[in-house]
A and B are shown apart, each in its own frame.
Chain A
Amino acid sequence: MSETVVFVGKVIVLIGVLFDLLGCIGLVRLPDVYNRLQASTKCVTLGTCLILFGVFLMSGFLWKSLLAIVFVALSGPTAAHAISHAAHKAGVKLWEKSVVDKYQEDKKKVKES
């Protein structure tokens, strides 16, 4: 029984590492800050949570790791939101092929009025 659980844990850790790798590839390939944040946040949050869950199974139900999952899942997206908001405030441009930027339009409207 415990061997099966450890094996499943290893598989989950492997999947988590795969998602982390995808996040890093996205970080390199995508064009601007916002897209890079998208890829890295999503993939790295889920990847890290999966790794922690795999550790939870492998180590014989170490409940600390579940607590760590909660903290990672709360702080990851919040940090991404903070970084992207700060980037937009600092005037980082979107990729030149971007379709629309409502936030910039609204900022301009506020300035003009």
Chain B
Amino acid sequence: MKKLVLFLVSFTAWLVLTWTIYYPALLIGILISIIIGFWFGDLFTQRPRHFFQIKRLLYLLYYIPIFLYYCTLANLDVAYRVLHPYLPIEPGIVKVKTTLKSEVARVALANSITLTPGTMSVALTDDGYIYVHCIKVYSADLKEATQRIVSRFEPILREVFE
């Protein structure tokens, strides 16, 4: 099952990269995908069933526009701070707590935090804390910072990955 998932993913990547239905190219793609699937299938994912659940994919599609919105906002925010003559920044590292359990979900959350306004994840701990570097610290308190930083993505990511 795991191997099949990685085979499908790598073969899709191959199809998109070559973008042809020329017969030998397809054959080589299938061969290489099978080899990759057998070698790395166990490393790629722990719960392969999740790839075939429609609900998760729909939530992923719902997540993308929200993510893009915050990403654009982040860029305008950085643009404002960088171009302002006095550099209005108050940097610092705060600690937030996430309730997400699986590793993939935590990585996705950390990456989302990095691309959203004024925050960048510096370290993840095993017990669910994330140290976040803020370009402007609004609150160093654990709960308030969690409310500000984590809560916009956590519910959606839970639906997608857990």
Contact = CB atoms under 8 A, between A and B. Distances in A.
Interface of A: 19, 22-23, 25-26, 29-32, 34-35, 37-39, 41-43, 45-46, 62-64, 66-67, 73-74, 76-78, 80-81, 84-85, 88, 94-95, 97-104, 106
A38 B71 contact: no
Contacts of A73: 115
Interface stretch (B30-38, B47-55, B89-97, B150-158): B89-97
B71 A102 contact: no
Contacts of A101: 92-93
A90 to B, nearest CB: 13
A76 B131 CA distance: 18
Contact of B93 (A26, A31, A41, A100): A100
Interface in B77-98: 78-79, 81-83, 87, 89-95
B87 A102 contact: no
A82 to B, nearest CB: 10
Interface residues of B, number: 37
B92 A81 contact: no
Interface of B: 13, 16-17, 19, 71-72, 74-75, 78-79, 81-83, 87, 89-95, 107, 110-111, 114-115, 118-123, 131, 133, 135, 137, 140
Contacts of B13: 67
A74 B122 contact: no
Nearest to B145: A102
A46 B75 contact: yes
B113 to A, nearest CB: 8
Given A84-B120, A88-B122, A29 B82 contact: yes
B133 A38 contact: yes
A66 B83 CA distance: 30
Contact of B16 (A26, A64, A77, A97): A64
Contacts of A38: 78, 118-120, 133, 135
